[in-house]
Amino acid sequence: MPLNLSQVLDQLRTDPAWAANIQAWEVEPARAGRYAPPPPGLDPRLVAWLNGRGIRQLYSHQAEAVAASLAGEDVVVVTPTASGKTLCYTLPVLQRMLERPSARALFLFPTKALAQDQYAALQQAIDQLGLDLKAYTYDGDTPEAARRAIRAAGQVVITNPDMLHAGILPYHTRWVNLFENLEYVVVDELHHYRGVFGSHVANVLRRLFRICAFYGSRPRIIACSATIGNPVDHATRLLGRPVRVIDESGAPRGERHLIVYNPPVVNAQLGIRRGVLQETRRWAERFLKNGIPTIVFARTRLAVEVLLTYLRHAMGEQAHRVRGYRGGYLPNQRREIERGLRSGEVLGVVATNALELGIDIGSLQAAVLAGYPGSVASFWQQAGRAGRRHGGAAAVLVASSSPLDQYIARHPRFLLEQPVEAAFIHPDNLYILVSHIQCAAFELPFRAGERFGDQPVDDVLTFLEEQGLVHRSGDRWHWISDTFPAHEISLRSAAEENVVIIDTSRGARVIGEVDRFSAPLLVHEQAIYIHEGQQYQVERLDFEENKAYVRPVRVDYYTDAHLAVDLKVLDCFARRPVPGGEAARGEVAVIARATLFKKIKLFTHENVGWGRIHLPELEMHTTACWVALGDEPAGMDPSVLQAGLQGLAYLLGHLAPLYLLCDPRDLGTVAQLRSPFTGRPTLFLYDAYPGGVGLADKAYDILPLLWQAAAEAVDACPCEGGCPACTGPETESGPGAKEAARKLLAWLVPGGAGHGPAVPATGPRPAAAVPALPAPGVSTVPGGLPAAPGEASRG
């Protein structure tokens, strides 16, 4: 007999085998809604439409946002998931269309999937109102014939920043009707535009508003965001305008259980815990077998497919009701899964953060997170996907063995009480700024002395003139190159080309795709590529043609590839002495190459074989900070010193994101026993994005805090020689890694490691330890400019 959610939770709470590993269990009580009548100026037809949907009153934040927008203000609505933000922009836009049929609106969503979802909701409203209003999605999947019709007659154009950047702005002369009559720009999921992606999008919006000014329009902005720590600052920097922020939600909310679970230790000497995927499977099985609609979030595409395999195996005849959802699935497949979730045909979904955004996926009651998602904001976004419509909900964070997850498990109050992080961008990053000045010059000539955003551009244009890209005639700079700059710039700092995955067993059918930088890890020859639970073996990877050829197989293992990374310093921007050595920051070249892969047995996770990968290396120029150690380690055996450096690099790579407010995959670390640049044992931390986005610069400023946190993590871990929760397994970092790392930290931390814990994330900071350094959640960089955390995995 299936149990309901409350009964399942009661069972788990009272079962000693589960309860012993629950680090925190918090119950958020249900909250009543706050309401207000629709603004008095709202068209009676819209009021009647709302009444027809059973809406007599709006939530208080909806009413405030609609009234402010109708009064001509630029508005940003910052409220939690499922708080009805869609009406905040739908009502003002429809109102203006009713008043002036020639008015135009541009809707921006960060993904094509979300744009399609919101188009369906808007079109339903238009049909119910009986309006002759033409709304269209415009993205890479739009046929050419439809594009011409949209350019001529589209009153609401729904697109994404990538398409605006490369498919609309460079062709603005074909969009005269849109730009001359543009009255609203809607920017949804504002919190998603952070780091490198947000820095690019801020420049795309600068270009958009520059073109609008050329055509004589000044559209109002309505933006929506999940909760972030700095809504005014982030919105102002992204949109380039002062805005009115509405951040008090009036939406009701059901009771929600928040659980932090740390898997049991299975090897105390090595500090090994039961695997996060196996424990996540146990939680999800408990919900799914009782018919409780559940979403499971995993950190990587591979983890999604492994978990999906496990859950389908466990569900038996109901296996078809559990689906996967991640990047690489084809658009039609994603739409099918979304429809299944809304209808209830799909009971459970295993996803990357691709489903963090506000796509309507119906009523889910449980969310299980396989590992800390990298930020407090992402945790609340993922937890908020359950309980969207009615009744109670549960969100379970299952900690992995990584140092960051173990920090959260030891300090669950950090997760549950720490304010949501600020979202930062750095639109004036020179690498990004110059790219978009080129795009803007292609679109319209620059006047001498003109500013782009708040930046003067004459010096950049002079540089571009020396490169033969622009030419000055009188007081105008004109684009003269035959290149098309927008097509050479990806907003997400990834290669434009994707590698398509072709099933050769059924007439060369394309089953998915993967970005070029991930291809050496996921679709190298002999890799087992898992797609919707089906295993495929990669027969051949044609890297030049961006094609991977696969065939279906049935094996009891999956593959996991290893990436070897080396680094060389190109330029040093700054340096300073620090305890134990010298710190510096500068420009580096990172060289990465997939070298070998392991075969991991399903369910037991045993290593059952390996193979070599023969693919070319990839090179990226970015920014880094580093510490070259002084003379103290000279007496250490080189192999022990190497192990200590590797262990410290492992620990730093996992802990630094907590203090830099970014995803762990936004950073990389390299340890060199004798650096060719410094001639000393050196530890590097670099931005994992071309050109860098400010993370390494900020790490340079807070190195003492990072060393202190690392010392506390090493001292707090009970293992003997190193484990996944501190300096990494001894088999990876090397024998003696933990003790060697402890000695290195004794030189790097004033007073030595083991002389008191690092400053807790939410607690006071001892004045003598690291005086004037920001705790997690606070960000400063030289000159007062905010640093830019990188975007989360695109899933």
CATH label of the domain that carries residue 109: 3.40.50.300
Q: pLDDT digit string (tens) for 398-445?
A: 998 888 888 888 888 878 887 787 777 889 878 789 999 999 999 999
Write down the pLDDT at residue 271: 67
Are 721 and 643 in contact by the 8 Å Cβ rule? The answer is no
Q: How far apart are CA 481 and CA 236, in angstroms?
A: 33
Exposure on the CB side of residue 57, measured as CA atoms within 13 A: 10
Are 156 and 122 in contact by the 8 Å Cβ rule? The answer is yes
Task: Quote the domain boundaries for residue 323.
Answer: 5-19+253-417
**Is residue 201 a part of any domain in this protein?**
yes
Q: Are residues 272 and 161 in the same domain?
A: no
Write down the pLDDT at residue 310: 93
Which of 83, 78, 94 shows the shortest CA–CA distance to 35? 83
Q: Considering 394, 417, 440, which residue would you say is the last residue of a domain?
A: 417
Q: What are phi and psi of 512, to 5 degrees?
A: 180, -170
Q: Are residues 13 and 40 in the same domain?
A: no
- How far from chain centre, in Å, is Cα 559? 25
Q: How far apart are CA 706 and CA 444, in angstroms?
A: 46
CB neighbour class for 517 (10 Å; exposed up to 12, middle 13-18, buried from 19): middle
Residues near 199 by beta carbon (within 8 Å), at least 6 away in sequence: 425, 426, 427, 429, 432, 693, 788
CB neighbour class for 43 (10 Å; exposed up to 12, middle 13-18, buried from 19): middle
Q: How far apart are CA 446 and CA 458, in angstroms?
A: 9
**Is residue 29 a part of any domain in this protein?**
no
Q: Are residues 122 and 208 in the same domain?
A: yes
Q: Are residues 142 and 157 in the same domain?
A: yes
- Per the document, the length of the chain is 795
Residue bearing tokens 């805005």: 243
Q: Considering 468, 488, 508, which residue would you say is the last residue of a domain?
A: 488
Are 675 and 615 in contact by the 8 Å Cβ rule? The answer is no
Are 793 and 203 in contact by the 8 Å Cβ rule? The answer is no
Extract the tokens encoding 629. 């150690």
Model confidence, pTM: 0.75
- How far from chain centre, in Å, is Cα 247? 22
Q: Are strands 256-261 and 393-398 parallel, antiparallel or unpaired?
A: parallel
Going by the DSSP 8-state scheme, the letter that residue 596 receives in this structure is E
Q: Are residues 15 and 42 in the same domain?
A: no
Q: Are residues 349 and 231 in the same domain?
A: no
Q: Are residues 584 and 703 in the same domain?
A: yes
Q: Are residues 446 and 588 in the same domain?
A: no
**Is residue 666 a part of any domain in this protein?**
yes
Q: Are residues 394 and 461 in the same domain?
A: no
| Nearest-10 Cα torsion for 472, 476, 477, 478 | -100
Are 397 and 408 in contact by the 8 Å Cβ rule? The answer is yes
Q: Are residues 503 and 354 in the same domain?
A: no
Residue 67 host element (H or E) = helix 60-70
Write down the pLDDT at residue 495: 42
Residue bearing tokens 């501190």: 726
- How far from chain centre, in Å, is Cα 388? 21
Residues near 70 by beta carbon (within 8 Å), at least 6 away in sequence: 39, 41, 42, 92, 95
Neighbouring-strand partners of residue 477: 446, 472
Q: How far apart are CA 612 and CA 181, in angstroms?
A: 59
Are 107 and 137 in contact by the 8 Å Cβ rule? The answer is no
Which of 296, 337, 253, 343 shows the shortest CA–CA distance to 27? 253
**Is residue 365 a part of any domain in this protein?**
yes
Extract the tokens encoding 496. 């434009």
Residues near 105 by beta carbon (within 8 Å), at least 6 away in sequence: 93, 96, 97, 155, 156, 157, 182, 183, 184, 185, 186, 219
Write down the pLDDT at residue 206: 98
| CA angle centred on 188, ends 426 and 371, rounded to 5° | 75
At 479 the three-state DSSP class reads strand
DSSP calls for 29-57: PPB---EEPPPTTS-HHHHHHHHHTT-SS
Extract the tokens encoding 738. 């933990």
Q: Are residues 394 and 502 in the same domain?
A: no
**Is residue 25 a part of any domain in this protein?**
no
Q: How far apart are CA 380 and CA 374, in angstroms?
A: 11
**Is residue 180 a part of any domain in this protein?**
yes
**Is residue 423 a part of any domain in this protein?**
no
Q: Considering 216, 246, 276, which residue would you say is the last residue of a domain?
A: 246
Q: How far apart are CA 380 and CA 376, in angstroms?
A: 6
Exposure on the CB side of residue 302, measured as CA atoms within 13 A: 16
**Is residue 612 a part of any domain in this protein?**
no
Write down the pLDDT at residue 765: 27
Q: Are residues 404 and 449 in the same domain?
A: no
Angle between helices 331-343 and 112-129 (to 10 degrees): 60
Exposure on the CB side of residue 469, measured as CA atoms within 13 A: 18
The parts of the chain modelled with pLDDT lower than 50 are 493-496, 752-795
Domain count, the chain: 5
CB neighbour class for 180 (10 Å; exposed up to 12, middle 13-18, buried from 19): middle
Write down the pLDDT at residue 501: 92
